[in-house]
C-alpha cells in the first residue's frame, strides 16, 4: 500500500502544509501588521506549490489524487487565496483605523483564513469521499467564525443562519456519502477502497443504480445548500453581506465552486454507471430556479454586498444548469463560466470592499458618483460589474453565450427561460451600477479616512490580476487552456 501522507518532494505536501502550518503560526503571531504580510507570504507559497503540481503530477494514493479536473481548481483556489490575502491586507488596515476590529480578532481572522484555504485544498485533492466530506464540514466551521467576526447583531444572525442551514445540508450530504459507500461496498469490498474516487470510477458500472439515484438526491440537496442553489440559498446573501469583504470574495470565489466540485464528482460516478436516472434534469431545474429567483431579487436590493451575493447565486445557477445539460460543449461552457465567475466576482468584491469603506456605508442609495469621487476604483468597479453582468466582449459574456448556444442547439425550449433570466439579471446589475457610478458624489465624513496610495496600489494589483484575464478571455483563449477544458469536459460526461 502506498504511503498515505505525501512526502516532502511532492508538491501536494506543500500545498496542504503551507496553509495548515500557517493557520497554526498566525494564531500565535501577535502583531496584525506582520500577520497580514505573513498571510500573503504563506498564500504565495501555496500558489507556487500549486504551480508545481500542474507541472509535476504525483501518483494517486488512497488519500490524495490529482487529475485534470481538480488540478485546475486547486490552481484557481490558490490564486484567489493570494490575491484576496493582498486585498485583505489593505482592507483590514483601514478597518483597524476605523476601530471596527482589534488585534485579537485579527489574529483569529488570519488563522481562520488559512484554515479555510487548507480545508478547501484538502476537499479538492482528497481521494476519499469521507475525507472530502470532513474537509467541507470543517470549511463550514471556519467560515462561520469568519462571518461572525464583527460580532454585530446582523453578523451573528447571518452566522447563525449560515451554520444551521449548512449543517443540515452537510448532514444530508453525509447521508448521501454513506449511501454511495453502500452501493460501492458489494463490488469494492469493505473499507477505504469503496470510498476512493480513482478506484470507484473504474467499476461504477457494477454499482447498484437505485441506491446511487437515492444517494445523488441527498448529495445534490446537501452540497447544493453550500453551492447556494435555490431554494436552499437563504444563508448566502446574509453570510456574504455581514462578514468582512475579503471573506465574501473567497466565499464566492472558492467555497461555492468547491461545493459544486463535490456534486460534479458524484455526477461523474452516476454517469459512469449508465443504468441510473440522468442527474441532468434535477440540476437543470435547480439551476434555472436559482437564476430566476436571484434575477428578480437583484432588483430590490438596497445593500451593495447583498446585491453581489445574489449575483453569485445567479451565476452558480447558470453553471449548475450548464453541467446539468451535460455533453462536451455544455460542460466546456460550464467550466469556462466557473472560471470567469470566480475571477470576476472576487474582483467585484475587492472593489466593493474599498467603496463601502470610502462611503462608510453599504447602502446603495447612499453611494453615488464613484467615477467622480474615486476615479480609479470607480471605473474599475464599473468595468467589473459590466463584466459580471455579461457585457460583450468580456469573458463572462463568452461563457454565458456558450451555455446559451449549446442549450439552444439541444433544447430550444430550455434556452428561452435561460436567456430571459440572464437578461433580467443584466438589467438589474447595470441599473444599479450606473446609479452608483455616476451622479454627484455625496461627501460624508467617515471613520475610515482617505486611502493611502501605497496601500491602494496593492488593491489595484489584486484587482487587475483578476479582471485582465477575464477581459482577455473574451477575445482570446490560449489553445492549451481550451484543450485542457475539453479533456475535463469529456471526463464529466
Choose the binding region for another protein from 141-149, 252-260, 310-318, 450-458 (rule: CB under 8 A): 141-149
Choose the binding region for another protein from 31-39, 115-123, 125-133, 284-292 (rule: CB under 8 A): 125-133
Choose the binding region for another protein from 50-58, 75-83, 109-117, 139-147 (rule: CB under 8 A): 139-147
Least distance (Å) between residue 52 CB and another protein:
28
| Options 85, 144, 282, 330; binder of another protein; rule CB under 8 A | 144
Choose the binding region for another protein from 7-15, 37-45, 154-162, 315-323 (rule: CB under 8 A): 154-162
Question: Number of residues in contact with another protein, rule: CB under 8 A?
Answer: 51
User: 438: which residues sit within 8 A by CB, 6+ positions away?
Assistant: 368, 369, 371, 372
Least distance (Å) between residue 112 CB and another protein:
12
The cell for 290 is 436559482
Question: Judged by CB under 8 A, does residue 182 bind another protein?
Answer: yes
Nearest to another protein of 171, 360 (CB atom): 171
Question: Judged by CB under 8 A, does residue 156 bind another protein?
Answer: yes
Least distance (Å) between residue 225 CB and another protein:
12
| Options 33, 300, 483, 490; binder of another protein; rule CB under 8 A | 300
Least distance (Å) between residue 292 CB and another protein:
17
CB-CB contact of 286 with 224 (8 Å): yes
Nearest to another protein of 13, 175 (CB atom): 175
Least distance (Å) between residue 42 CB and another protein:
23
Nearest to another protein of 75, 211 (CB atom): 211
Least distance (Å) between residue 364 CB and another protein:
10
Nearest to another protein of 362, 466 (CB atom): 362
Least distance (Å) between residue 126 CB and another protein:
10
State how far the Cα of 28 lies from the Cα of 35, in Å rounded to an integer.
10
Nearest to another protein of 164, 472 (CB atom): 164
Residues 194-253 that bind another protein (CB under 8 A): 194-195, 208, 210-211, 213-214, 238, 241
Least distance (Å) between residue 170 CB and another protein:
9
Nearest to another protein of 189, 453 (CB atom): 189
Least distance (Å) between residue 105 CB and another protein:
13
Question: Judged by CB under 8 A, does residue 132 bind another protein?
Answer: no
Footprint of another protein (CB under 8 A):
128, 130-131, 133-134, 137-138, 141, 144-145, 148, 151, 153-154, 156-157, 159-160, 163-164, 167-168, 171-172, 174-175, 177-179, 181-182, 185-186, 189-192, 194-195, 208, 210-211, 213-214, 238, 241, 300-303, 306
Amino acid at each position: 500500500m502506498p504511503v498515505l501522507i505525501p512526502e516532502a518532494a511532492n508538491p501536494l505536501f506543500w500545498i496542504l502544509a503551507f496553509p495548515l502550518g500557517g493557520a497554526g503560526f498566525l494564531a500565535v503571531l501577535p502583531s496584525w501588521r506582520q500577520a497580514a504580510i505573513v498571510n500573503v507570504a504563506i498564500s504565495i507559497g501555496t500558489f507556487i506549490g500549486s504551480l508545481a503540481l500542474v507541472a509535476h503530477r504525483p501518483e494517486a494514493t488512497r488519500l490524495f489524487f490529482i487529475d485534470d479536473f481538480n488540478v485546475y481548481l486547486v490552481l484557481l483556489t490558490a490564486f484567489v487565496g493570494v490575491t484576496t490575502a493582498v486585498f485583505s491586507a489593505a482592507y483590514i488596515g483601514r478597518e483597524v483605523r476605523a476601530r471596527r476590529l482589534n488585534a485579537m480578532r485579527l489574529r483569529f481572522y488570519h488563522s481562520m483564513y488559512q484554515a479555510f484555504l487548507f480545508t478547501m485544498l484538502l476537499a479538492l485533492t482528497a481521494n476519499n469521499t469521507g475525507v472530502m466530506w470532513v474537509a467541507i464540514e470543517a470549511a463550514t466551521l471556519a467560515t462561520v467564525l469568519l462571518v461572525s467576526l464583527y460580532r454585530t447583531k446582523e453578523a451573528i444572525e447571518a452566522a447563525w443562519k449560515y451554520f444551521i442551514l449548512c449543517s443540515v445540508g452537510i448532514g444530508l450530504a453525509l447521508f448521501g456519502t454513506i449511501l454511495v459507500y453502500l452501493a460501492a461496498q458489494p463490488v469494492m469490498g469493505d473499507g477505504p477502497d469503496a470510498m476512493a474516487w480513482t478506484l470507484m470510477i473504474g467499476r461504477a458500472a457494477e454499482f447498484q443504480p437505485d441506491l446511487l439515484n437515492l444517494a445523488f438526491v441527498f448529495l445534490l440537496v446537501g452540497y447544493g445548500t453550500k453551492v447556494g442553489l435555490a431554494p436552499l440559498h437563504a444563508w448566502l446573501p446574509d453570510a456574504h453581506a455581514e462578514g468582512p469583504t475579503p471573506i465574501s470574495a473567497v466565499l464566492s470565489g472558492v467555497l461555492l465552486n468547491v461545493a459544486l466540485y463535490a456534486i460534479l464528482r458524484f455526477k461523474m460516478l452516476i454517469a459512469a454507471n449508465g443504468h441510473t436516472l440522468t442527474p441532468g434534469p434535477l440540476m437543470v431545474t435547480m439551476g434555472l430556479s436559482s437564476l430566476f429567483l436571484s434575477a428578480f431579487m437583484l432588483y430590490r436590493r438596497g445593500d451593495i454586498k447583498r446585491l453581489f451575493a445574489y449575483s453569485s447565486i445567479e451565476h452558480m445557477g447558470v453553471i449548475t444548469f450548464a453541467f446539468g445539460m451535460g455533453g462536451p460543449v455544455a460542460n466546456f461552457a460550464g467550466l469556462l463560466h466557473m472560471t470567469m465567475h470566480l475571477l470576476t466576482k472576487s474582483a467585484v468584491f475587492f472593489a466593493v470592499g474599498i467603496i463601502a469603506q470610502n462611503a462608510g456605508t453599504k447602502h446603495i442609495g447612499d453611494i453615488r458618483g464613484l467615477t467622480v469621487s474615486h476615479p480609479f476604483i470607480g471605473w474599475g468597479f464599473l468595468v467589473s460589474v459590466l463584466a459580471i453582468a455579461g457585457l460583450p466582449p468580456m469573458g463572462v459574456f463568452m461563457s454565458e453565450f456558450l451555455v446559451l448556444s449549446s442549450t439552444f442547439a439541444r433544447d430550444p425550449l430550455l434556452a428561452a427561460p435561460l436567456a430571459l433570466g440572464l437578461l433580467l439579471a443584466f438589467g438589474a446589475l447595470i441599473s444599479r451600477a450606473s446609479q452608483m457610478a455616476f451622479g454627484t458624489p455625496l461627501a460624508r465624513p467617515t471613520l475610515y479616512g482617505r486611502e493611502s496610495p501605497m496601500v491602494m496600489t496593492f488593491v489595484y494589483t489584486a484587482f487587475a490580476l483578476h479582471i485582465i484575464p477575464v477581459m482577455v478571455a473574451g477575445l482570446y483563449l490560449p489553445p492549451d487552456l481550451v484543450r485542457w477544458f475539453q479533456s475535463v469536459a469529456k471526463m464529466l460526461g
